[in-house]
Amino acid sequence: MKSYAVATVSLMTAIAALIAGTTPSDAQRNSDRHIAGKFDYYQLVLSWSPTHCADNSRGSNDTQCGTKRAKPYSFVMHGLWPQYERGWPQFCQTRGKPYVPKGIINGMMDIMPSRGLIIHQYKKHGTCSGLDAPTYFKASRIAYRNVKIPKMFNAPTKQILITPSELVKQFRSVNPTLTNAAMQVVCKRGNANRLKEVKFCMTRKGAFRACTKGRAPRHKCLNKKIYVPPVRG
């Protein structure tokens, strides 16, 4: 099986060059028709798999949550989302159908262990990057690898109780260029003390940047300690 893993950050710069100079005008931001390749920055979203699987397991053959999965998953890649300074584009028009080849899907399963998720992410977000599916998922893998995961979140077998600010501090300890303004902690809707995902804002070249100008983003969790479920056995 062909691997689409990419080990160098330089490719992100090359990818950005393909779509340089295409930030959107205010008129385009307000248009109902989002234009592929016209956006301001990326948001990398990592999902906490045990929280997702608590409510979304589809049986033993579920590649992310089932008993026959490749490994117990902790943080997995949800997506790489083009963003405007205010709002975001989605489901952008492309030439032809937004098709994701089978080889690309298989090559991403180690960090996005759901075929349906991979296909959906390209249709909804990847089309707005201005990149074809192979290049978009290469960029996605690079962004994923550019974020170091703190050791305490590598397949924990016991629950973790931590405040959102402490969680950010843990990520900053292993990502020297990460700032408070570049990361947001999100908890499950309807259960604001259970970790759902973390979001990282990045420039089009893959460097961390503030999500909102002038202030750090508000975490979508309780301010007190939140619950991080252990990996599923």
Among 12-21, 100-109, 190-199, which range has the highest average pLDDT? 100-109
Domain span including residue 79: 10-228
pLDDT tops 90 at residue 83:
yes
**Which of 128, 127, 129, 100 lies closest to 114 in space, CA to CA?**
100
Residue 91 Ramachandran class (φ > 0 left, ψ -120 to 50 alpha, else beta): left
| Counted domains in the chain | 1
pLDDT tops 80 at residue 21:
no
Q: Which pTM value belongs to this model?
A: 0.85
Q: Model confidence at 190, in pLDDT bands (50, 70, 90)?
A: confident
For the segment 114-167, what is each residue's pLDDT rounded down to a tens digit?
Answer: 999 999 999 999 999 999 999 999 999 999 999 999 999 999 999 999 999 999
Kindly state whether residue 111 falls inside one of the protein's structural domains. yes
Kindly state whether residue 25 falls inside one of the protein's structural domains. yes
Kindly state whether residue 59 falls inside one of the protein's structural domains. yes
Kindly state whether residue 31 falls inside one of the protein's structural domains. yes
Q: Is the CB of residue 208 less than 8 Å from the CB of residue 178?
A: yes
For the segment 40-69, what is each residue's pLDDT rounded down to a tens digit?
Answer: 999 999 999 999 998 876 666 689 998 888
Handedness of CA 154, 159, 160, 164 (dihedral sign): positive
CATH number of the domain that residue 133 is part of:
3.90.730.10
State the alpha helices, DSSP H only, in 57-124: 102-108, 115-124
Kindly state whether residue 233 falls inside one of the protein's structural domains. no
Kindly state whether residue 61 falls inside one of the protein's structural domains. yes
| % of residues, the chain, pLDDT over 70 | 83
Kindly state whether residue 1 falls inside one of the protein's structural domains. no
d(C-alpha 23, C-alpha 15), whole Å? 15
* Range of lowest pLDDT (25-29, 87-91, 161-165): 25-29
